[in-house]
Structure 1
Amino acid sequence: MGGRSAPDRRGHRGLVSRVRAVPGARAVSSYRREWLVKDLVAGVVLTTLLVPQGMAYAELAGLPAITGLYTTVLCLLGYAVFGPSRILVLGPDSSLGPMIAATVLPMVAAGGDPDRAVALASVLALMVAALMILASVAKLGFVADLISRPTMIGYMNGLALTILIGQLPKLLGFSVDADGLIGEAAGVVRGLADGAAVPAAAAVGIGGILVVLVLQRFLPKVPAVLVMVVLAIAATVVLGLGEHGVDLVGELPEGLPPFTVPAVRLADLPLLLGGAVGIALVSLADTISNASAFAARTGQEVRGNQEMAGVGAANLAAGLFQGFPVSTSGSRTAVAERAGARTQLTGVVGAALIVLMLVLAPGLFRNLPQPALAAVVITASLSLADVPGTVRLWRQSRTEFLLCGAAFAGVALLGVLQGIAIAVGLSVLNVFRRAWWPYRTVLGRVPDLEGYHDVRSHPRARQLPGLVIYRFDAPLFFANAKTFADEIRRLAGADPPPTWIVIAAEPMTDVDTTAADVLEDLDEELNADRVHLVFAELKDPVRRKIERYELTRTIDPAHFFPTVESAVAAYRRLTGAEWQDGDGH
C-alpha cells in the first residue's frame, strides 16, 4: 500500500546512481578504517606547508595574504568532492601567481584597491572554473599537449627568474616601482646602490632561503618551510625585528568570508578572459602531468576529463569565497604522499585546521616577517627552473634549445601572459615546421637486412636501374605539397632519368585537396617525360581519399601496390632490371 510507484523507484535509483558518480561520494563509500590515522597525520603535516605557502602565493599574486588561506580552504574542499585523484593536493601556486598579478594589477586603480583586486581575482577564478568544466565536458584534455616540453622548460625558467627578481625587494626590505623583469632588476640595483635595503630584513630573508634549501637538501623529511617560519617568528619576538624596519604580516581577519558573488564591471570581463585562458592552460598542463606522475606511483588510473572537472570545481569554490585561481601542486602532493596520505580526507583535514586557526588564533602569524614569505616564494621559484633539462636540450637538439630560449625570452622580456602565448605559439609552429619540412630520403636494399633502408645511413645500399624508392615522412597537405613536388621533379631530372618513382607512402597519413591538385599536375608532367609515379603501402583511408579526388584519372590504378616489395617485383618483371651497388656497379 505504502510502497513507491515504479516511476518513483526509477527516479530514486537514478538519483542514487548520480550521487554515487560523484568522486567524493565514491571515496566515502569505499573508505577503509585503517586509513583514518594516516590521513589525519598527513593532514596535520600538510597544513604546516599550506599556511605559509598560501599566504606567500597570495602576495605573489598581488593580493592580501589572508586570501591565500581562504583560497586554500575552499579549493581543498571543492576538489575533495569532485576530484578523482586520491591524493592530489590543490592550492595557490607559484606558477599561477605572476599570471594572476599580470592580469589583475594593471586593472586596479593607482594606489591599489585591495577589495577591487580581490573581486577581479575571484572573477578570474570563476572564469578558469568555467573553462576547465567546459574543457572537461568537451573532453579537451589533449589541449595540454599544445605546450611542448622544450617550450615549457623555457617558460618555467623565465617564470622562475621573473619571480626571483620580483621578490628581491621584499626579501631585502624595500619596494620597487617598476614593470617588467628589466625594470624590476634595474630598480633592485638602484635600491641597493641607494642603501634602501634593510639589514634586518635582508638577514631574515636570506637566512630563510638558506634554512629551507639546507633542510630540503640534507633533511628532506623535515618540514623545511615550517621550521623556517617558526624561526622567523621567534626571531621577531626575541629581537624585536618590527622595530628595526622589518615589515610583518600582522593580525589576520578572524573567521571565513561569506559566500560572495564578486561584482566587477562588464568592461573588465574581456580583459580578464585572456588571463583566464592562459591560467587554465597552465593549470591543465600541471594537472595532467601531476596526476599522471602520482597515479603511476599509486597504481591509479588517470581520468583527465574528471581531473579537469575537479580543478574546475576547486576554482569555482575559491571564486565564490573571495579566492583566486588554483592548480594542482606537485610539491604539496609529494609532502602529503610522504606523510602517508591515502585519500582526499588529508586535504579536508588541512582545510579544517586552517579554519580553526582563523577562528581561534587569527593572530598566530602576526609576527611573521614579510621577508620570510618572500623566502618561501623564492625557494618555490627555484624548483620551477630546470637547468639540467635546458643543458640536455643544448646537447641533444639545438633547434629545441632555441625554442626553449625563445620561450624564456618571451616571459622575461614581454611578461608571463605574453610568455605563455609565445610558448603555445612556438609549440604549434614547431609541429607545423616538422610537417612542412619533414624528413625525406631515397631507400635502397641492404644485404642481410630485410626491407628497404635510408641510403644516407647505408651509402652502399643497392639500387635498381631506372627505379627510385622515395619516402616522405609526413602527411601530404597544402603546406608541404610543393616541397614534395619539387623533390620528385629533382629525382625525375636525374641523368639518366628514372622510369618509376615509387613513393613509400606508409608515413603519409593524409592527403588534402591542395596536395591532390599538386599530385595531379605532377603526374601529368612526369607522364609527359615518360616517368611514372607509383605508390606503395598507401593506407586504405588515404587511398579512398585519392579515389574520391579522382586522381586515378591521371595516376594509373595499376600503379598502387600494397608493399614496396611488390612494387619492386612488378618493376623487375616489367624491365628485367638487376640490383646494383650504391656506386652503380
Structure 2
Amino acid sequence: MEPSGWRAYVPGAELARSYQRSWLPKDIVAGLVLSALLVPQGMAYAQLAGLPPVTGLYTSILCLLGYAVFGPSKVLVLGPDSSLGPMIAATLAPLLLANGDPARAIALASMLALMVGVVMVVAGLARFGFVADLLSKPTQIGYMNGLALTIVVGQLAKLFGFSIDADGLLAELKAFVSGLADGKANTTAAIIGVCSLAGILLLNRFLPKLPSVLIVVVLAAVVVGAFDLQSHGVDTVGVLPEGFPPFTIPHVSWDDVPPLFIGALAIAVVALADTMSTASAFAARRGERVRGNQEMVGIGTANLAAGLFQGFPVSTSGSRTAVAEQAGSKSQLTGVVGAATITAVLLFATSVMQYVPQPTLGAIVIAAALSLADVAGTRRLWKQRKTEFWLSIAALLGVALLGVLPGILIAIALSILNVFRRTWWPHETELGRVAGIAGLHDIESHPDADLLPGLVVYRFDAPLIFANARMFGEKVREIAEDDPDLQWIIVAAEPITDVDTTASDMLHELDEWLNERGISLVFAEMKDPVREKIERYELTSTIDPRHFLPTVDEAVAEYVRQTGAAWRAPVRPSDGDG
C-alpha cells in the first residue's frame, strides 16, 4: 500500500520505519560497489560541464542524501549525468569570460541546480508529472544521438592530450583535426586515452558484471605513477581539496538569472524524461509502481541539496542504477553508503586521485556518450515509420548543429508539432460491410466491402477542432458532390473526443448546406461529453436531434428502415464495360 499523509512526501521516513535488517548487508555492499563508479564518473562529468572535478564529488554526495529522504524509488541512483553536462556547460558558457573564474563558474552552476530544484519540486507538488510526455520517443532518440555525437567530438582533444578553443560541433571537430595535423597531440597521453576507452568498452562488452570504469581508472593511475608519465606531459586530476563541501548560498547577479532560468527549465524537462523512462523500466522489473509527481519532488530535492553545497544539476543515471541493482541494492540506503564512502575519500584520501590521467576521464565520458546513442532505435524507426525517423534526425541535427539548449527546445517543439500534425491531418475513411466480419470496416483496407446505395458512413479519427474543421467540412462536401443520389452521411463519431466552437460553426454551416441538397447529416456513437457540448453550442437547433444515434449499426438499420435500401457490392468503372 502507498504511504499516506506526510509520509507520502518523505519516503525516507517510511523506509526507516519499514526497513528490514536482512537488507543491510546487501545495501552496504551495493553502496561500496556504487561508490567505485561514482568517484571517477562524478569527476569526469564535472569537467564535461566545465567545472572543477571535485565539484562532481560534492554533487554526488548531496544529491544521493537528498534523494534518499525524498525520493520514492528504492533503486534509482541520482548523480552527475553525461546528458546534462553539455546542457550545463551551454548555459554557463555565455555567462563566463574566456578562462573564467572557477569560483564564479561554481556559483553559477550551484544557482542553476537550485533553480532546477525549485522548478522540479513546485512541478511535483502541482502534479505536473505529465510534462515528461513533452518528449516523444523519436525525438528522445534523436536528442540522445545528437548529444552523444556532440559529447564524443567535444572530448576527442582531451583523449589525445591537448586542448582546443572552439564552440559547437563543427568548430570543435575542425579544431581537433587541425590540432592533430599541427602535431599538438601528446603521444603518451593519446595512448593512455585510447587504451582507457578500449578497456572500458571491451570490459562492458565481454565482462559486464565487472566495474570497468574503476578497473581502468586504477590501472591508468598505476601506470602514470609508476612510469612518471606526468613528466611526459600527461595531465592528471591531482590532489583533491580536502574536506566536506561547505554550505554555500551562491551569489550571482540579476543579469544572470534569466539565462540561468531558461537553462533550468530545459534541464528539468530532460532530467524528468530521463528519470521517468529509467524509473518505469526498473519498476516494471521489480513489480513496483512509478510515483511520477513524487519523483519530481525527489529529483528537485536532490538538486536543491547539491546547489547548496557547491554542486550542479543532477539526474537519474541508468548505468549507475543498473550497477546498484546488480550488486543487490534493496533500498535508498545504498545511496547513503555511496555518499558516505565519497565523503571518506574527501576527508582522508584526497591524494588517491592525484595520478588519475585526464585522458582517462575523457575516455569515461566518451564511453558514457556512446551508451546514450540508440542506433538500433533509429533503425527501427526507419523500418516502422519514416515520419518519426525524420523527426528523430531533425532532433539530432538540432542538437548537433545549433547546440544542446536549442536542440532540446527543438526536440520538444517537434514532439508537440507531431501531435498537432496527427490532429491536423488525421486518418479518415469511409466504412462498408465485409463478409464474415462483424461491424463496418475501412473500405481502403477492404475494397470489396459492400455498400448501401444513398448512404456513406464516414469516420474521422481525431477531435474536431479549429485545426481540422475545414478539412472535415471539405471532405463531407466532396462526398456529397460525388454522389448525386446521396441521402444520408453517417459520421462514426466514436473517435471524435472533442468539438470546439470553430468546429461547431462549421457543422452548423455544413448541415444547412447538406439540407439544401436533401442530405441528412447523422452522428453515431458520439461520446456523452461531446454530445453535451453539441447541445451547449445549440447545434441541435440545426441538426435534427433524432440524427444522434447510439451506435453505427443502429444508424445504418434506421437508414435501411426508412429507405428500404439493400447492401450491394461496390460499383467500379470497369463493372459497366461490355
1:89 equivalent to 2:64? Answer no
Contact 1:445 1:452 in 2 (8 A): yes
Aligned counterpart, 1:357: 345
Q: 1:238: Cα distance to partner?
A: 1.6
Distance 1:132 1:436 in 2: 32
Aligned counterpart, 1:219: 207
Distance 1:82 1:554 in 2: 57
Aligned counterpart, 2:235: 247
Q: 1:191: Cα distance to partner?
A: 0.5
Deviations 1:348-401 (A, max 9, x none): 111111111111111110111000000000000000000000011111111001
Moved more, 143-152 or 489-498: 489-498
1:73 equivalent to 2:61? Answer yes
Q: 1:497: Cα distance to partner?
A: 3.8
Distance 2:414 2:161 in 1: 38
- 2:22 is aligned, of 20, 34, 37, to 34
Deviations 1:488-517 (A, max 9, x none): 011000143411010000000000000000
- 1:109 is aligned, of 83, 88, 97, to 97
1:290 equivalent to 2:273? Answer no
- 2:300 is aligned, of 312, 317, 325, to 312
RMSD, aligned α-carbons? 1.1
1:64 equivalent to 2:52? Answer yes
Compared with structure 1, are the counterparts of its residues 441 and 17 closer, same or farther at alpha carbon in structure 2 (3 Å cutoff)? Answer: closer
Q: 1:111: Cα distance to partner?
A: 2.1
- 2:176 is aligned, of 177, 188, 192, to 188
Alignment of 1:550-565 (within 5 A): 550-565=538-553
- Amino acid across the alignment from 1:305: N
TM-score normalised by structure 2 residue count:
0.97
- Amino acid across the alignment from 2:471: T
Deviations 1:275-302 (A, max 9, x none): 0001000000111111111111122221
Q: 1:17: Cα distance to partner?
A: 6.3
Contact 1:79 1:311 in 2 (8 A): yes
Aligned counterpart, 1:331: 319
- 2:479 is aligned, of 453, 477, 491, to 491
Q: 1:446: Cα distance to partner?
A: 0.7
**Secondary structure of the residue that 2:250 maps to in structure 1?**
coil
- Amino acid across the alignment from 1:536: A
Distance 2:58 2:421 in 1: 45
1:542 equivalent to 2:558? Answer no
Deviations 1:95-150 (A, max 9, x none): 00000000012211222110000000000000000010011111011110010000
Aligned counterpart, 2:149: 161
Q: Percent identity?
A: 64
Q: 1:582: Cα distance to partner?
A: 1.9
Alignment of 1:450-461 (within 5 A): 450-461=438-449
1:98 equivalent to 2:69? Answer no
Moved more, 101-110 or 123-132: 101-110
Contact 1:151 1:403 in 2 (8 A): yes
Q: 1:19: Cα distance to partner?
A: 6.0
TM-score normalised by structure 1 residue count:
0.96
Distance 1:314 1:300 in 2: 22
Aligned counterpart, 2:110: 122
- Amino acid across the alignment from 2:497: T
Compared with structure 1, are the counterparts of its residues 173 and 503 closer, same or farther at alpha carbon in structure 2 (3 Å cutoff)? Answer: same
Distance 2:5 2:297 in 1: 18
- Give unmatched runs, 5+ long, in structure 2: none
Deviations 1:32-62 (A, max 9, x none): 1111111111111001100000000000000
Aligned counterpart, 2:494: 506
Distance 1:22 1:390 in 2: 39
Distance 2:410 2:270 in 1: 13
**Secondary structure of the residue that 1:443 maps to in structure 2?**
strand
Aligned counterpart, 1:368: 356
Distance 1:103 1:343 in 2: 34
Deviations 1:312-333 (A, max 9, x none): 1100000000000000111001
Distance 2:123 2:483 in 1: 57
1:412 equivalent to 2:391? Answer no
**Secondary structure of the residue that 2:441 maps to in structure 1?**
strand
Distance 1:53 1:181 in 2: 23
Distance 1:523 1:324 in 2: 60
Contact 1:460 1:583 in 2 (8 A): no
Moved more, 56-65 or 101-110: 101-110
Aligned counterpart, 1:4: none
- Amino acid across the alignment from 1:411: V
Aligned counterpart, 2:309: 321
Distance 2:395 2:485 in 1: 47
1:437 equivalent to 2:418? Answer no
